[in-house]
Structure 1
Amino acid sequence: METLWFVLLSFMLCMYAILDGFDLGVGTLQLILAKKDDERRLVLNAIAPVWDGNEVWLIAAGGTMFFAFPVLYASSFSGFYLPLMIVLWLLMLRGLGIEFRHQVHHAMWRSFWDSVFSVSSLLLTIVLGAALGNVVRGVPVGKDGYFFEPRWTTFTVVPQACFLAMKTGGELQERAQLLAARLWWAVLLTSLGALLAVSAIRPAIWQNYSRSPWGFIFPLGGVIGLAGTFICIRLKKDRGGFLFSSLFILSMLASTAFGLYPAVLPSALDPDATLTIYNSAAHASALSIGLTWWIVGMVAVAGYFVYIYRSFRGKVTPDGGNSGY
C-alpha cells in the first residue's frame, strides 16, 4: 500500500509539473515573445481558462502527502519553510498579475503587472526546480526527522514555447517556434549536465535500475520525448512538440522517483535518518480507506479537465472588448 501511494503522489507531482509547468513557462516567455499589448493579451488568453485549475494539482499533492505520508509532510514543510513561503508569495503575485492587469486602462499599469506575472513565473520555475535538486542531492535530516534547508535544476521551457505556438498564430507563433528550436539545444545540454551531476553526487540512484532493469523504460521515454520534440519542432508540428516535450518532463521526473524509491527525503548526514515510504507513511488501514476517496476525487478532477480543455481547444484571439483575458 505504501508503494501505491508513492506512485500516486509521484503522479500528482508530475501532473503539476506538466500542467502548471506550461503556465509558468508561458509567463516566463511573455515579455520575451510578446512585443505588443495584443500579443500579451493573446499569451494570457492561452492559459486563462486553465491556469488556476492547473495549480490545484500542487494543493492536491500537498494534501495527499499530508494524508499518506504525514512524517514526510511535517519534516519537509518545516525544513523547506522559507522556500515554501517564497513559493506562496510568488503564486499570489502570479494571480495578481493576471487579475489586476485589466483593471486600469493605462499602458504603465499593464506593463507593471505584466512584469510581475513574468518575473514571478520565472522565479517559481527556478525555486521549484532547485527544490527538486535539493531532494535528489539529499538534505540534512537528523535522527529526529527534521532539518532546515534555506538554500535553493530548472524545468525546461521548450513545452511552453510549443504550447504558445500551438495556441497562437501570426508573428507570435513564429517567434515561439523559433525560440523552441533554439531552446531545445539548451535543454539537451542541461539535461546531460544534470545526468552527470546526479551520477556524481548521488550514485546510489542507479541501484534500483541495476536491481530492476525494467525501470530503464523511464529514461528511454525521456530520450523518445526529447527526440520527438526535436522532430516536431523541425516540422513545425506544434501540438506534437508540446506532447513530446511533456513526455520528456514526465519521463525525467518518473526516472527520478524510480531511482529514489523507497526514499522520499534522503538524508545527507546519515543514511539511517533517511525518510522512506515505510517510516513516514500513515497506518495501512488509513491508506486503504483513503484510496477510495482518492479515486472518487480523481474521477471528478479528470472529468473537469477533459471538459475545460475540450471547451477551450484551438487557437486563441484577443477579444476586442476585453483588455484582460
Structure 2
Amino acid sequence: MPADEPVLNQASELASSSLSPAARILIMDEDPVIRDIAFRKLSSQGYDCKCCADEKIALRLLAAEKFDLVLTGLLETDDGSTTVIRKILQVSPDIAVVLLTTIVDIDLAVNLLKDGAYDYITKPCSMEELSIRVAHALEKRRLLRENENYQRTLQKQVAERTKQLREALGVLEQTYHSTLVALSKALDSRDSDPNHHSLRVTAASVRLARHLGLSHPEIKAIEKGVLLHDIGKLAIPDKLLRPAEALSEAEQLIIRQHPIIGHRILSHIKFLQDSALLVLHHHEHYDGSGYPQGLKGGQIDLGARIFAVVEEFDQLISVNRSGKGLGFK
C-alpha cells in the first residue's frame, strides 16, 4: 500500500461525513495555477467548487449564492482597510474560511484566526494536506451549526416550558385564592356577618397598600393575611363568638387567643407564612393598648397597621347591629 493512501482515505472519509449534499467551496486566489490545482483536487473529492481571482467578484458570488467554505489566498482587501476574512463574514456570517498564504508568521496567523478563519495553510502544501484541512474545516462548521441549532431548539423548549409553568402557576394561584376567599366567607359566617366583612377590608387594604407603593409580594402577603385575619377563631367555641350576654374576663381571654392560634396555623403553611405576622398583630393598637403582645408603633407589622386603619374605617361606614353607619361617598 502506498504511504500516502491512509491520508487520502482520511480526507475522503471526512469529506463524505461533511457532505450531504455536496459542500460548496469558493476558491479565491490571484494565482491561476493554484486556483486550477485546488479546483481539480477538491472537485475530485466530491465538492462543488467555483473559482475567482479577486475580492470584489468573490463578495458578489457570496452575496448571490450559498457557499459552505471559502479557500482564499487573499489576506487584505483592495483598499487595505480590513482583512478579507472580515469582509467575507460580513456577507456570509456562518461560512468556514481557510487561508492559503506564503507568509510564515505566527502573530499573523493568530490574528487571522481571531478574525474568524477556521484554519491556516502555508504554501507550498500538498494537495492531500489541503483536502484534509478543508474536510476538517467543514466538519467543524457542521458541528458548530448543529450546536447552534441545538441551542436554539433548547431555548425554544425552555421558553415553551416556562410559559406552561407560568400558566400552571397562575391556575394554582387562582385556586389558592378561591380557596382563601371561600374560607374567609366561612369565617365571616361564624361571626354572623352576612355582608362579607373580610372581603371588603381585604379589597380596601390592597388598595391602600398599592397607594403606599408596596411591592407585589408585600401586597399579596397583606391580601392573604387580611382574608384570614380571623382564622384563629376556628378554635374558639361558637357560644363565645355569638354571646347572648356580656363575656366574662376568662371568656375574653379565650377570645384574645385567636391571633396567636391563627399565627400558629399560618406559620405551618408555606405559601401563607409571609402573612402570619399580620394575623398575629391584627388586634395590636398603635398606642400599645392592643393584644396579644401589647405592641406599639413601628413594632407592629406594617400589613397589620394597614389593616387596622381599613378595619376602623369599615366599621365607621358600615351599618351596625343598631342599623346605624356613617356611610361613604
TM-score by length of 2: 0.22
Structure 1 or 2: larger strand share?
A: 2
Of structures 1 and 2, the one with the larger relative CO (CA 8 A, separation 6+) is: 1
Of structures 1 and 2, the larger Rg is shown by: 2
Structure 1 or 2: larger helix share?
A: 1
TM-score by length of 1: 0.22
